[in-house]
Amino acid sequence: MADKQLTIRDLRVAYITEDETVHAVNGITLEMEEGESLGIVGETGAGKTTTALAIMGLLPKPTGQIQGGSIGFEGKDLTQLPEEEMRKIRGNRISMIFQDPMTSLNPIFSVGDQIAEVIEIHNDVSREEAQKRAADMLELVGIPQGRMREYPHQFSGGMKQRVVIAMALACKPRLLLADEPTTALDVTIQAQVLRMMRGLRDQLNTSLILISHDLGVVAQICRKVAIMYAGEIMEYGNIGDIFERPLHPYTEGLFNSIPRLDLDRERLFPITGLMPDPSRLPSGCVFHPRCPYAGEACSRQVPGITETADRKVMCLMYEGVIENQMRKNHG
């Protein structure tokens, strides 16, 4: 674990209730170096947010449970740390931007006080110094210091998101998790926020995990991408390689669902069917009920991870188990 900033090995997370067990994350493996940016892409219910919550140690108790694997961060296994030690890391060494800025801010405190509180908790500084740093953080994300005393309802959606980003970066974390940070924003503000996040990432040398269902957003800010489906990583590699030549049928399906100006198409080709119920996952490859290339073996055999020259892919065809038309598609 020591040579990588973040090392996730065979992570398994489930939500357990009296009625059922929801298998949200099913043995994912990822690693990141310091300063790297990774996008995690997939449909709603793929397990993206659960992965981030597991890293943060914020799985809902008692239902959310890590059932196996490890999360190594700067030489420590976060799954084994007591809550007191996790509090020192959370918001300080690792920070998270949650999906909805409207619910991430407390409506009864000024935005300046909320940022200053984060700084006070994790740094041995006076209240005055914390307020000064909070003002500097607001300036860093493009909000004038004069708005320190204003409340969340006085800000637009895009400005609220900037405040949330300032709060997440207040202690200069080494790893930033951004969960759908632009979903609630219009395209103009989205572009501004992404440009700002990219600049802050480079300026502070902060590692970034960007969670999104939008491949276009990920392409603008990340260098690597993991395609996630039903709690598993289907494909992982450099973003340019995957965008140019997707290997997994699910990745191919995602790209076929996106409108393209360079292709003369009357209709898109969406992935058929729906994401499987995570409490009743299909046997074999979890994607096989929706896969246009699935063979008989796909319903019986769980694919392993095959490493090619430029990426990792989880599909039986790359293990030589099945042959189909996709081989022709990829030469």
How far apart CA 93 and CA 279 sit, in angstroms, is 34
Answer whether residue 213 is part of any domain: no
Residues 152, 111 contacting (CB under 8 angstroms): yes
Answer whether residue 327 is part of any domain: no
How far apart CA 225 and CA 27 sit, in angstroms, is 17
Q: Is residue 7 scored above 90 in pLDDT?
A: yes
Query: How many beta carbons lie within 10 A of that of residue 320, not counting itself?
Result: 8
Answer whether residue 22 is part of any domain: no
How far apart CA 292 and CA 325 sit, in angstroms, is 10
Chain segment 8-59, per-residue pLDDT in tens: 999 999 999 999 999 999 999 999 999 899 999 999 999 999 999 999 999 9
| Whether the model pTM is above 0.85 | yes
Residues 148, 110 contacting (CB under 8 angstroms): yes
**pLDDT-based confidence at residue 68 (cuts at 50, 70, 90):** very high
Q: Is residue 268 scored above 90 in pLDDT?
A: no
Note down the domain range covering 117: 103-171
User: What are 177's strand-pairing partners?
Assistant: 96, 209
According to DSSP, residue 232 is labeled E
Answer whether residue 135 is part of any domain: yes
Chain segment 71-104, per-residue pLDDT in tens: 999 989 999 999 999 999 998 999 998 877 778 8
Pair of tokens at residue 265: 């198409």
Largest Cα–Cα separation, the chain: 67
CA neighbor of 235 nearest in space, from 249, 216, 222 = 249
Answer whether residue 116 is part of any domain: yes
Answer whether residue 194 is part of any domain: no
CA distances from 140 to 77, 136, 137, 179, 307 (A): 32, 6, 5, 21, 41
Residues 158, 195 contacting (CB under 8 angstroms): no
Chain segment 130-166, per-residue pLDDT in tens: 999 999 999 888 899 999 999 999 998 888 888 998 8
How far apart CA 119 and CA 135 sit, in angstroms, is 11
How far apart CA 252 and CA 113 sit, in angstroms, is 46
Q: Say how many domains are in the chain.
A: 1
Tokens 């759908």: give the residue: 180
Residue 329 is inside which H or E element, if any? helix 325-329
Chain segment 295-312, per-residue pLDDT in tens: 899 999 999 999 988 899
- Kindly tell me the sign of the dihedral angle through the C-alpha atoms of 257, 277, 58, 106: positive
Answer whether residue 211 is part of any domain: no
% residues pLDDT > 90 (the chain): 62
Answer whether residue 151 is part of any domain: yes
Residues 215, 240 contacting (CB under 8 angstroms): no
How far apart CA 33 and CA 72 sit, in angstroms, is 12
Using alpha carbons only, what angle is made at residue 136 by residues 152 and 95, rounded to the nearest 5 degrees?
70
pLDDT at residue number 128: 92
Alpha helices, H only, 205-267: 215-221, 239-244, 249-256
Pair of tokens at residue 311: 């990426």
